[in-house]
A and B are shown apart, each in its own frame.
Chain A
Amino acid sequence: MSIEMKADKVLDLKGLSCPMPIVKINKGIKEVQVGQVVHAITSDPGALADFPAWAKKSGNEILKTEQDGRVTNFYIRRAA
């Protein structure tokens, strides 16, 4: 059963290829307050590994990862 995740900001990154998805999320996460959630949607296959690596380095938290065919939905909470 999937729980509906409430996001404070949605970033549609579909169609963007490496390194754009992490460039955009790095910018996008700074546009919300600490504690708020960004919903990033990406179709880049590299993003599956890139987003967790970026989150670890930047100190942010990936709350949920949802795959929908070729599209991946990341719910990220700004932690710092």
Chain B
Amino acid sequence: MNVFHFMLENHDEVVELMLEHLWLVGLSTMLAVLIGVPLGILIAHRSRLSSPVLASANIIQTIPSLALFGFLLPVSWLGERADRLAIVALTLYALLPIIRGTYTGIRKVDPAVLEAGRGMGLTNSQLLFQVELPLASGVILSGIRVALVISIGLATIAAAIGAGGLGELIFRGLAMVDDQVILAGAIPAALLALSADTIMGWLERRLQPR
């Protein structure tokens, strides 16, 4: 197929953009986990906070991605470097699935098990790290998985504002009206999403509480 020939000839560029794509997605997902998991734990333990937090994350998700990029552009610290902006936007988008996954996973832990643990003299952090999180890990991971797959797709749009990644090939190909170039960006992006989904699915299964 032509597109593979093209990709082979331009493998430097494709690889460079793919690494950039992974960087955008990887960093933003990691940030979303660092922010979202603790937040999810917090609202799982304090139900009063759950509605406002989940509602806010929900609102962010409903903003169309391109619009969010647009809103953030005028913020000078963000607008200066498109990749910075993209990472902030991607992190925001990844928050809802991760917060919700964490919240649900922890709420689903059998309260009897928690009570037994507390009654036995486990401290709150011991309960969290040795009981709640391990038991919730499957659901938390499924939230991260959703976030990851969404991010890989969204990151292609980030190229529209100059953040790079595989989307750059797609947009360029569109402007040039050249299928090869479009596919050289679209196919790796799709493969990335598929692999991420598969790997995360495997991880989830391994961590299911038996």
Q: Does B associate with A? A: no
| Residue ranges of A at the interface with B (Cβ–Cβ < 8 Å) | none
